[in-house]
Amino acid sequence: VYGTNHKVTMAMDWIRKQARLYQNLARTMRYQAVVHLEDKEDEYFWDYQLQSVKPGRYRYLYYSKSDKGTDSRGCEQCLRFRPYLTDRFFICIDSDLRLLRGEQGLMAANHIAQTYTYSWENHLCEAAHLNERKDKAIPDSDFDLQAFLHSFSKIVYKPLLYLIQCGADSSTNQLWNVSKFNACIPLQPSRSDLVDNAAGYLAKVKENFNKALATLPSEVKTVEPLTEENAYLHMQGHQLYKLVMHIGSMLCGGTGIAFKTDVLDKGLHTNGYEEIESLQSDLQYILK
């Protein structure tokens, strides 16, 4: 019994010791705050959001020691610090499907900031702002990215509801999961697929989902705040990003415009739609 308790104490020490170090570091005059992210690539997005709320120097952590003393990163590692977070040492995480599945405690009052979309990549693909950037970069294009994403969002809405419901149980997860969901969405449509604002491509995606969901119950519970309009913001962000980048790159063909750098990755905003405004509100609460 002693050995077991001793192991538990030692495991907890890694997190507690690091938390004390980060809290002390945050108290110095060098930083506004110490912020644990899921990975290094997240800094681009989160620093922009933080600077818009409270400009200054932030110390970003991309990984830390797990309970076993090994270098670890990701959302679960960030959440291990929950008991020790403050307004000067906090975490910024992707919501994944946790928000839609009703996971408790993920709130600004607990010094946790989240994307309110599956991941920060979804924000780069927000339909209205994305279409504005596309129109400014390639004004001669008649492809409407906003209309495309609205139609696409309606198609993925019901499959996402099944994903939220089935993922809560290991047995139902075998029936419908992220891998099966992603398999229904070809990420590299052809140029001919984009005719009539990608009507043919959207029809293929809808057919793929209809076939894949045929064996599941016809009724599925609705989940707030998921709607047909915002569903695309709650699918895996890197999948959505790849699809939008592929389509945009074809639209930019022969124009000299690099869609990824000149359009897609310039999509950092702090207002204009509910998800980003919720994120901003949380940061304002934490940094008040």
Average pLDDT estimate for 52-56? 97
Average pLDDT estimate for 77-91? 97
Q: What is the pLDDT of residue 203?
A: 98
Q: What is the pLDDT of residue 8?
A: 43
Q: What is the pLDDT of residue 3?
A: 44
Q: What are the b/e assignments for 219-254, b being 16+ CB within 10 Å?
A: ebeebeebeeebbbbbbbbebbbebbbebbebbbee
Higher pLDDT, 47 or 28: 47
12: confidence class by pLDDT, cuts 50, 70, 90: low
Q: Which of 277, 259, 241 is nearest to 124 (CA)?
A: 241
CB 59 within 8 Å of CB 36: no
Q: What is the pLDDT of residue 11?
A: 46
Q: What is the pLDDT of residue 114?
A: 98
Average pLDDT estimate for 30-50? 97
Name the percent of the chain lying above pLDDT 90. Answer: 87
Whether the predicted pLDDT of 28 surpasses 90: no
How do residues 96-106 score in pLDDT, each as one tens digit? 999 999 999 99
How do residues 110-155 score in pLDDT, each as one tens digit? 999 999 999 999 999 999 999 999 999 999 999 999 999 999 999 9
Q: What is the pLDDT of residue 103?
A: 94
10: confidence class by pLDDT, cuts 50, 70, 90: very low
Q: What is the pLDDT of residue 209?
A: 98
Q: What is the pLDDT of residue 67?
A: 84
Helix (H) or strand (E) holding 35: strand 33-36
Strand ranges (DSSP E) for 37-146? 58-61, 64-65, 71-72, 89-93, 112-114
pTM: 0.93
List CB contacts of 248: < 8 A, sequence separation 6 or more.
134, 145, 259, 260, 263, 264
Whether the predicted pLDDT of 91 surpasses 90: yes
What's the chain's average pLDDT?
Answer: 93
Q: Tell me the β-bridge partners of 9.
A: none
φ, ψ for residue 228, nearest 5 deg: -60, -30
Q: What is the pLDDT of residue 124?
A: 98
Whether the predicted pLDDT of 194 surpasses 70: yes
Whether the predicted pLDDT of 9 surpasses 50: no
Average pLDDT estimate for 193-200? 96
Measured CA to CA, the distance from residue 79 to residue 15 in angstroms comes to 10
Whether the predicted pLDDT of 2 surpasses 80: no
Whether the predicted pLDDT of 4 surpasses 70: no
